Structure 1
Amino acid sequence: MLVAQNLLSAFDRVTEYWSPKVIGKVNDQLLKVAKVKGQLVWHAHDLEDELFHIVKGELRMELEDGVVHLREGDTLTIPKGVRHNPVADEECWLLLIEPASTKHTGDEITPLTRSLAEQLS
């Protein structure tokens, strides 16, 4: 039997900033929730697009050719190969949709980088 999931309650699983948690799967796309504050790292995903949906708060997406300001309810898709750096001055809640093959910080490895196993826990 299928069971509904409450998106806002899913954020209870997130205890660290920049540490996404997988909450579902649609075909080969993973649905992840994350709480973020500060900045992650400049990175790109060479083979995968990545969707950011702002559930709560605001996010500044730094891109090589400018900045996109996102507010609650906004959605932005980062096309594969585009370098980006997400920044949140205050706590922000994100719903991310991306292929299961997507590395958290692309080829950049930092103390904030999380493996898929960590995201599934």
Structure 2
Amino acid sequence: MTTRIPAAVPAVVNIAAALARFSDHWAQRRIAGINDYDVKVAKIQGEFVWHTHDDTDEFMLVISGRLTVRFREGDVVLDPGEFVVVPRGVEHCTAAAEETSILLLEPAGVVNTGDAGGELTKAVRELEPS
């Protein structure tokens, strides 16, 4: 068995520190990549747009605050440390009464508003170096 040794020691990412470096809502920041996936953080408050992602599931983990994920069949409420996987093609809408920080895991290039588009559509930005 061969052990793969990294060319450089991988960077450690502190999620709380990453979230402290920006304040805008609904603007995802890429903090890492895993294969063809982006690991992103975002701060949200208020209600997002109803949308679907036809080609991918969506993983959302609450870091702080409280997240409501609305589905046509009913709502799911998540507290810190809880996550939900929204299956591909399932219409949903996220909402947070208070500022809520989340971590997302999605394939690179996924548009935040899915099929809905509109003014809340924002390109994923790299978290700028500290």
Q: TM-score normalized by structure 1?
A: 0.93
Larger % of helix: which? 1
Partner amino acid for 2:54? D
**Number of corresponding residues:** 119
> Identity over aligned residues, as a percent?
35
Check if 1:68 corresponds to 2:76. yes
Q: Which has the larger radius of gyration?
A: 2
Following TM superposition, where does structure 1 have runs of at least 4 consecutive aligned residues deviating by more than 6 angstroms? none
Residues 38, 87 of structure 1: 8 Å contact kept: yes
Equivalent residue, structure 2, for 1:11:
19
List per-residue Cα deviations over 1:40-76 (Å, max 9, x = no partner).
Answer: 1000000011100000010110001110011111010
Aligned to 2:119, the other structure's residue is in SS state coil
Unaligned 5+ segments in structure 2 are: 1-7
Instruction: Give the Cα separation in 2 of the matches to 1:83 and 1:39.
Output: 14
TM-score, normalization by structure 2: 0.87
Whole-Å separation in 2 of the counterparts to 1:71 and 1:35: 14
Deviation, structure 1 residue 12: 2.3
TM-aligned CA deviation for residue 107 of structure 1: 1.9
Q: Could you list the runs of 5+ residues in structure 1 that have no partner in the other structure?
A: none
Name the SS of the counterpart of 2:16 in structure 1: helix
**Aligned-pair RMSD on alpha carbons?**
1.2
Is the aligned partner of 1:27 residue 2:27? Answer: no
Asked whether the 8 Å contact 1:17–1:36 carries over to 2, the reply is yes
SS at match of 1:113: coil
User: SS at 2:54's partner residue?
Assistant: coil
CA contact under 8 A between 1:14 and 1:34: conserved in structure 2? no
Please, which of 71, 95, 98 is the counterpart of residue 90 of structure 1?
Answer: 98
Kept in 2: contact 1:22–1:120 (CA 8 A): yes
Kindly provide the CA deviation profile for residues 10-42 of structure 1, in whole angstroms up to 9, marking residues without a partner as x: 102332100010000001110000000001100
Which secondary structure does the structure 2 equivalent of 1:13 belong to? Answer: coil
